Amino acid sequence: DTEVTQTPKHLVMGMTNKKSLKCEQHMGHRAMYWYKQKAKKPPELMFVYSYEKLSINESVPSRFSPECPNSSLLNLHLHALQPEDSALYLCASSQDQRIPTGGQYFGPGTRLTVT
């Protein structure tokens, strides 16, 4: 099973709202990632968790707050977002952050619209 699941599929939120994106994988992968993707652009890395610890933060604004409750789950908490944060948010996982074998497996994404 090479599936990464994400919920919700679509999310519309106001600039004062607080919401969360969820990601889950059951492949035994120990590295999990959040990406942001704008239309007709490649994914941009936001955060990396390795063995449930934050490994990389690509200078993401604090209105995005990641959380890794256990090795299978990854959350992205959203607060006071701006309209320019509207994008497709992708979760990915890989066997181990240090070993690039097998690539990263992506979920279907959450389409976020900030109004």
Q: Which residues bind other proteins (CB under 8 A)?
A: 2, 4, 6, 31, 40-43, 45, 48, 55-56, 88, 90, 92, 94, 97-109, 111
Q: Which is nearer to other proteins, 45 or 80 (CB)?
A: 45
Q: Which is nearer to other proteins, 2 or 16 (CB)?
A: 2
d(CA 2, CA 86): 27
d(CA 7, CA 38): 19
CB of 109 to other proteins, least distance (A): 5
CB of 105 to other proteins, least distance (A): 6
In the DSSP assignment, the letter for residue 99 is B
Place of tokens 């106001």: 14
Residues recorded for the chain:
115
| Pairing of β 10-13 and β 73-79 | unpaired
Q: Which is nearer to other proteins, 12 or 15 (CB)?
A: 12
Q: Which is nearer to other proteins, 80 or 95 (CB)?
A: 95
CB of 90 to other proteins, least distance (A): 5
d(CA 9, CA 109): 7
CB of 80 to other proteins, least distance (A): 26
CB-CB neighbours of 109 under 10 Å: 20
